Amino acid sequence: MAQVFCIANQKGGVGKTTTTVNLAAALALRDRRVLLVDLDPQGNGTMGCGIDKREIECSVYQLLLGLKSFDDVVRRSETGGFDVLPANRELSGAEIELISIRERDQRLKKTLGPVMDRYDYILIDCPPSLSMLTLNALCFANGVIVPMQCEYFALEGLTDLVASIRRVHNEKNPGLRIISILRVMFDPRITLQQQVSEQLKKHFGDKVFNTIIPRNVRLAEAPSYGKPGVVYDRSSRGAMAYKAFADEIISRMEAKKKNG
Ligand code: ADP
Ligand code: MG
């Protein structure tokens, strides 16, 4: 059965998509079967996997609304080595159209439940809001990965996200257990970033991943080649960091399995 993680933070531009795409590719390099779900109407994750969002016939939108089946919508990222449920602008309409649907926050869980045994990991790239789409991701996930820049305002907004996650855990999805912070776009030369990074670790303990993702231009370039950074330049510092992150995820998950 797949472990389901959503990559969420209601701020934009904090590294959600970069983290989702690179973690997917790094897990695939470790021979794990991965499905990436693009839940952001911007479709950046889709493009970053080498799938042209303007040319897709079916997107995750039709899946959520029950208009198409999983097999109609799923695509293969040839550059990443994993499966993708792609998205494009069309998905922005889902927010409104879901209103009239029963159990509208359970749509993702309903549609992906039957394919859980095809994958080891399902990674969901969330939009930058606590919207119905994000709620669908939270209702389905086992864990949330929150990418965070080590800046002064980093913790702002985290309280809202944590409150939403608690509410979903209590009312909708008791299986939503793990919430962990990933420090991204880190620049060790900036003293403030070092301080915030240490504070995060002190305050949240093992809820902060050990791996730190550095600011690295190769990660930013990769999407314009339709490739995950870990594939585009596999020996870059950014690629190495995401590979280490995948190993940390795998060892945390497998330790958990062993301990029950
Ligand atoms: P989000 O999905 O949260 O909006 P993105 O993953 O799209 O954020 O990242 C925002 C921008 O920052 C993108 O241009 C991306 O290429 C760049 N970026 C993300 N992570 C890094 C990194 N570690 N180093 C350098 N640039 C990064
Ligand atoms: Mg994004």
Taking the domains of the chain in order of start, what are their residue ranges? 3-258
Assigned CATH topology for domain 3-258: Rossmann fold (3.40.50)
- Residues 190-218 have pLDDT tens digits of 999 999 999 889 988 999 999 999 999 99
Structure tokens at 3: 């472990």
Closest protein CA for atom 4 of ligand 1: 13
pLDDT top residue among 218 and 10:
218
Atom number of ligand 1 nearest to Cα 19: 6
The position carrying tokens 């021979």 is 31
pTM of the model: 0.97
- Residues 127-176 have pLDDT tens digits of 999 899 999 999 999 999 999 999 877 777 788 888 889 999 999 999 99
- Residues 81-131 have pLDDT tens digits of 999 999 999 999 998 899 888 999 999 999 999 999 999 999 999 999 989
Ligand 1 near 18 CB (within 6 A): yes
Q: Of the candidates 133, 18, 125, 149, which has an alpha carbon nearest to the alpha carbon of residue 65?
A: 133
Q: Which uninterrupted H or E stretch holds 164?
A: helix 158-171
Question: Please, which residues have CB within 8 angstroms of residue 115's CB and are 6 or more apart in sequence?
Answer: 35, 70
- Answer yes or no: is pLDDT of 260 > 70: no
Cα distance between residue 123 and residue 133, in whole Å: 14
Distance between Cα 180 and ligand 1 center (Å): 19
The position carrying tokens 């305050």 is 203
- Looking at this predicted complex, what is its ipTM? 0.99
Query: Are 24 and 245 a contacting pair, CB within 8 Å?
Result: no
